Structure 1
């Protein structure tokens, strides 16, 4: 490849490396980065990051290389130019008029994208063919557009990575893949959360300035197009670089650091995004530590005093057919409540309700996404590697809390203020025999306020009361699972409801407004005939943030939960450690239900109950028991931390804030390591074999 022909690559690569370096420096000093780095560690981050960026740029420059390789004047000579144009037109007509063409079979917007691309190619080919005197100017214009788009993608990716890190404390992962898929909600969230016009204006100005600079310093190199021999050399050289980059990335992405922050900062977001996009589910048996399968199942089922998965749950008291309302509260960290030490008084209603409820003071969410919380409360199983089961293809006909209620003659519904197609919730709940009430069921006059995530929680509260009133008239008990939406960025809500204005867009405002909406719901519910015969379960789906010094910081998984039923549930505090998957089996126990169970959570009041918790990300699977946190990760890695309780001014039942001290392998509690492996291995096996279906 001759020197003058690679100048566009050199300029773009230099710009990409500089932008990536700036982002890394920003991440190093970002408030969310709580790890400390010495000089050698910073140098390692910079050098590994530089290698990652160069390797990624080589792969990303494939489109530019192909563009330059296909530059030619000979293809526009008669009759080749006319033949090329005719082929493009026929291809355009094929996409437009053939009903079952390959693009339409794929679905989505692929056919429209293909039409736009081929149509643009027809216009460019026609101009180059019929206006030969302007061919150089047209080519230069197209080259500038190509450079502009590359620069725009580099700048936009840098901005996206910053905001993603600012929100989640990591580079791209499965959440970024979700954001690409659910464009309506995500774009709406960005528009409502950030000063979009100033932000995009700065992006455009920077992009334009850099693109003009690169264009002016490189466009002359295209005045003389490369010969066929030069193109052959360029192609062969680029193929070698591609292979080197693929091999190099396979090595650099395996380089680990002393903390999760070090690994994330030195990484490049694009390979992480690609990995997440192609790994919706991780094969436990390929990537994680294993023991004998029979041994794993036996060890896990021992907690139920059973040797088989399906168990008979028998109560010595008569069944109680009370209505049950399960309210999953969006992003409600335990430390938002005054009970857990918060002094902002942003949850006055929930704090007052907790005093009248059975409150679980030491409960941990299974994950850091809504779908993971819904999975835990609906399927009552430990989290598994990859995406939540709600997002997977094989997500129907499972053994669920809803199926138990239906077997008892209950009406079963899922209530959501947004559009339930988001996060695959509609597919999952309908596939498991839940009726759904979502934004599609609202009349315009029933909506006082809405943002991109859905109607305000108080509007959903009113709709929930209407739904429950209708169900109570049917003569059947009901189970309604309501997922709130207002405590989510952009944190907007109706004005005048609380003392924090709705346009401030603060997390505290989102929490306090949700608390206000729940208060309104209970005020309305108390006036209904069915109220006295109803059990209310209020629990967070996950915490507001999951970033920390370690893979699974315990304080970022602790959530509040309570069971309230006036005249039925006696106020008390359950202080032993427990999991989100234990909540609904406990509720069934309070109702004295007899049923065949495949739940992997436990009734905390049963004599077999073993205090423990499951906490996880998409890759790291954590098991908490006896003051140990055991984490199993790809590729067959096992870490264990001793959980050392911090001293603070909280009452004993709320004082469960831990420091995590990593143990050497020789100091690990091997029994708990095996217990962790058995739990996740057995769960993964039963899911794979569909043994957790109804």
Structure 2
């Protein structure tokens, strides 16, 4: 036993067991935190821990690769040197600190998103300035780091007192003796990479149970590995021309004529006189439907928006296409379905897309993307500046215009005051304008100027929601005094909901958002309760303006009598169609499942799995398979 302990590769075993123990504790803490939404049968709990231990072991296999290589090559004389002993102490402590830090990070990520690490974590790792700044502003980092360092020190003290490290440092193995353990340890991650998928974690109908069975580190590796997903490889498909033909049937209308370009390009003809109304689109960060009393949500958080609803065209059955800001931007500006993998906003080949920005410009408009943060985040500036918009971001705010900010950007008051100035400039230049305004205040750390609302800053999302509502109310009050107000359509819509996790694959309540079109001089107040989504915004606006234009959009005018209510919703891997009280979901592995929506409000959704309807299958494939087909062949580009 002592001889085995002296083998330098015993250190790898120590790393394995420490990692597995910390991971199991993390899983338990997350389980307790989510106890009210987790399925608690003995079999389900057993699966959570057994499957979780498997994925933790796979993660540990990846983690130890550099250590295995190091231990194989380091010469015996150096390995047994006194200096190497202290270096090993320091490294062991650093490793323990990292493992505990990862565990704490998982807690905060779960608290925000109710999932293990995924695409969001990968995206956020790219933008270290914003993310680190957000963490500093949101959490007591000094205290947290002290606690993490203390826990790591206690674990290291245990290793030191039990002489685990000292014993293995007396190893006397030859390089020949080290070949076998090296190959064994390296074989584990190689086999895992080739054979292991996240399929085992999809054992339950409860998504929280599935997420708990995952390993945060493995999920992070998986997100890096799978940031793009080829549709035809992973998803159910049919004959491409059949899918395209079915899509054309869905998109056809009395005033459209398809062109023979291989895609869905069509001429939209409106015979009425075209209007040149200004458009101000305020896309509100994380404005879930549950925040509006008008949708049956919490009382008192959005008094200005709830009041505005009574004077506006209000869409009360409206859905975000995704769970990230860039998904909302993509679907609004391009009117495209949420495709698997990265958003188009983040893809490198995203210039000259068939964007509403180009259509506005072609009609003589000044088009601006106005953002209170630095638009390099999430590739927003690159996307908008190459798809028909000029960019106004934090770089363009003077010191006087920036009265309050967080790491994400200036407060919403400053942003909307800047929007007023930009509108004034366009008006004085005798140009109609379209402003795409992206807010940031309803984002952790939920900081905003004091004295605006009755909830103190930095106390939670409710306060941030109420502050954003206040800022929008203040903006509209100021806008009413502007000469361009009576000729302007204001659109207020969320980018996505505040949370995305739920018990089911695609919880519809986590996609239900408000959409308000306000123009008291131009539009009669009314409630539109047709099921629709962000891809329908621009086609609806263009028809309100009586525009004739060439379209490659997947959305349609919601106000048309022939509009068939439906919504497209998705995640990075799940692709959904909600229609006729049935949610159908395409998923990796060429799977397609349908669920009857038994009950739904803005807080929860209840489903029952039902047999697949052939008509629904054809329709969902027509949207997603055809979108893949068109994107691959670059038939979604703008031709001047």
Q: Does residue 1:341 correspond to 2:296, yes or no?
A: yes
Deviates more, 1:562-571 or 1:59-68: 59-68
How far is 1:472 from its partner? 0.6
Secondary structure at the aligned position of 1:56 is classed as helix
How far is 1:262 from its partner? 2.1
Q: Does residue 1:636 correspond to 2:590, yes or no?
A: yes
How far is 1:547 from its partner? 1.1
Deviations 1:174-197 (A, max 9, x none): 100011101111111111111211
Partner of 1:687: 631
Q: Is the 8 A contact 1:395 1:428 kept in 2?
A: yes
Deviates more, 1:405-414 or 1:165-174: 165-174
Q: Which runs of structure 2 are paired with 1:19-38 in the superposition (5 Å)?
A: 19-31=22-34, 34-38=37-41
Q: Measure the CA separation in 2 of the matches of 1:689 and 1:191.
A: 44
How far is 1:240 from its partner? 3.6
Partner of 2:42: 39
Q: What is the TM-score with the length of structure 1 in the denominator?
A: 0.87
Q: Which runs of structure 2 are paired with 1:469-488 in the superposition (5 Å)?
A: 469-488=424-443
Deviates more, 1:262-271 or 1:677-686: 262-271
How far is 1:241 from its partner? 3.6
How far is 1:150 from its partner? 1.7
Match of 1:420 among 363, 370, 375: 375
Q: Which runs of structure 2 are paired with 1:248-287 in the superposition (5 Å)?
A: 249-250=196-197, 253=200, 256-287=203-234
Deviations 1:14-56 (A, max 9, x none): 2211111112222222237613131111112211111221222
Q: Measure the CA separation in 2 of the matches of 1:588 and 1:252.
A: 44
Match of 2:168 among 199, 215, 221: 221
Deviations 1:568-587 (A, max 9, x none): 11100001111111111101
Partner of 1:170: 115
| Unaligned ranges ≥5, structure 1 | 77-127, 129-134, 647-654
Match of 1:292 among 218, 235, 239: 239
Count of residues paired in the alignment: 625
Q: Is the 8 A contact 2:290 2:298 kept in 1?
A: no
Root-mean-square deviation (Å):
1.9
Q: Is the 8 A contact 2:369 2:389 kept in 1?
A: yes
Partner of 2:19: 16
Q: Is the 8 A contact 1:329 1:483 kept in 2?
A: yes
Partner of 1:113: none
Q: Measure the CA separation in 1 of the matches of 2:123 and 2:324.
A: 11
Q: Measure the CA separation in 1 of the matches of 2:73 and 2:36.
A: 45
Q: Is the 8 A contact 2:512 2:602 kept in 1?
A: no
Q: Measure the CA separation in 1 of the matches of 2:271 and 2:193.
A: 63
Secondary structure at the aligned position of 1:643 is classed as strand
Match of 1:396 among 335, 340, 351: 351
Q: What is the TM-score with the length of structure 2 in the denominator?
A: 0.94
Q: Is the 8 A contact 1:303 1:608 kept in 2?
A: no
Partner of 1:180: 125
Highest CA radius of gyration, 1 or 2? 1
Secondary structure at the aligned position of 1:444 is classed as coil
Q: Does residue 1:411 correspond to 2:366, yes or no?
A: yes
Bigger share in helix: 1
Deviations 1:317-372 (A, max 9, x none): 10111111111000001110111223430111111111110111100000010000
Q: Is the 8 A contact 2:205 2:504 kept in 1?
A: no
Q: Measure the CA separation in 1 of the matches of 2:35 and 2:389.
A: 39
Q: Measure the CA separation in 2 of the matches of 1:547 and 1:28.
A: 14
Q: Measure the CA separation in 2 of the matches of 1:518 and 1:250.
A: 45
How far is 1:220 from its partner? 2.9
Q: Measure the CA separation in 2 of the matches of 1:383 and 1:275.
A: 20
Distance change (3 Å), C-alpha of 1:304 and 1:66 = closer
Partner of 2:620: 676
Partner of 1:662: 608
Match of 1:315 among 270, 281, 288: 270
Q: Measure the CA separation in 2 of the matches of 1:439 and 1:671.
A: 48
| Unaligned ranges ≥5, structure 2 | none
Secondary structure at the aligned position of 2:550 is classed as strand
Secondary structure at the aligned position of 2:287 is classed as coil
